[in-house]
Amino acid sequence: MHIYPNRFVHNSLDLSYDELYDFAQIYLDVCKLFRPMSSGPLPYISALHNTRQPTRSERAYFHVETVSIRAALCVENTWRLRIGM
C-alpha cells in the first residue's frame, strides 16, 4: 500500500507540521487496516521514500510504502478466486 501527501514534495522535511501530523495519522490508520487480514500478528514492512537532492532526480517524491507478505498472499488468493484460477 502506498501513501502519498496531497501535494508533491521531495521529502518529509518539505511538509508543514500540520501536514506531517495528518500524514502520520493516515499512516497509523492504514497500519490498523492490516489487523483484520490475519487471525494472529501480521508483520509488515514500511519504507519511507525520500530524496535529498531534487535536481538529481526530479521525479523522486516523498511517499510511504507498506507491505505485508501475509496480506499480499490474502489479496492474491482473493484475486485468484475472482478470476477462477
Spell out the domain ranges in the chain.
2-83
Residue given cell 499512516 in the structure block: 27
Closest CA to 31 of 61, 3, 62: 3
Residue 17's pLDDT is 95
Q: Which residue has the higher pLDDT, 5 or 84?
A: 5
- pLDDT digit string, tens, across residues 44-78: 788 888 887 666 556 778 889 888 776 555 554 44
- pLDDT digit string, tens, across residues 30-48: 888 777 766 777 777 888 8
Report the run of H or E that residue 65 belongs to, with start and end: strand 63-67
Q: Where are the alpha helices (DSSP H) in 1-85?
A: 17-33, 69-83
| pTM across the whole model | 0.66
Closest CA to 9 of 20, 22, 25: 20
